[in-house]
């Protein structure tokens, strides 16, 4: 009887280890998304005392850049999907994975360049005191929604 119990305990232990390792390797159900630049820009612009003219100039700059940035975001998403497909291929093709990784990095760099251009256009519209406040807000660390501080209700952008 003692031998049967020991065997049952070993089986239960092995199954629990297997279940634990499978739970560890499973992908999270909902990936954590960070705020897009446009949300950060809106938040940072809202703290400035913009005149009606400055507000309309900033809006015009953002509207003019939107199609370019939307296309760049779509290119990054497409490159990311292509890379994921190449990584999931059986057998994996190292050359395709490398080429797709380089294409993704190029798409990301294009998006970064476009975002920097928009920031520079907005900065050109703002007064020096507004520029300092704006840059302080844009450069401030934003909380990841998965952090305990964010779950506690702290606002994004607060350290």
Q: pLDDT tens digits for 2-45?
A: 455 655 555 555 555 555 444 444 444 444 444 445 567 788 88
**Residue pair 119/138 in contact by the 8 Å Cβ criterion:** yes
**Residue pair 141/40 in contact by the 8 Å Cβ criterion:** no
Query: For residue 33, how many C-alpha atoms fall within 13 Å in the half-sphere facing its CB?
Result: 6
CATH number of the domain to which 133 belongs: 1.20.120.1490
Range of the domain at 119: 36-140
Report if residue 15 sits inside a domain. no
Report if residue 79 sits inside a domain. yes
User: Does residue 98 have a pLDDT over 70?
Assistant: yes
- What's the count of helices (H) and strands (E) in the chain, helices before strands? 6, 0
Report if residue 44 sits inside a domain. yes
Report if residue 120 sits inside a domain. yes
Report if residue 92 sits inside a domain. yes
Q: How many structural domains compose the chain?
A: 1
| Distance separating alpha carbons of residues 92 and 38, to the nearest angstrom | 37
């Amino acid at each position: 009887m003692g031998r049967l119990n020991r065997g049952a305990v070993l089986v239960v232990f092995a199954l629990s280890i297997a279940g634990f390792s499978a739970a560890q390797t499973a992908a999270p159900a909902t990936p954590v998304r960070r705020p897009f630049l446009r949300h950060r820009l809106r938040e940072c612009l809202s703290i400035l005392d913009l005149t009606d003219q400055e507000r309309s100039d900033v809006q015009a700059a953002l509207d003019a850049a939107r199609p370019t940035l939307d296309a760049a975001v779509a290119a990054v998403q497409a490159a990311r999907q292509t890379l994921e497909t190449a990584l999931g291929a059986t057998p994996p093709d190292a050359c395709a994975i490398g080429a797709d990784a380089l294409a993704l990095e190029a798409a990301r760099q294009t998006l970064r360049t476009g975002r920097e251009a928009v920031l520079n256009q907005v900065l050109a519209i703002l007064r020096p005191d507004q520029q300092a406040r704006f840059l302080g807000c844009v450069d401030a660390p934003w909380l990841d929604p998965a952090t305990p501080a964010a779950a506690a209700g702290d606002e994004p952008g607060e350290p």
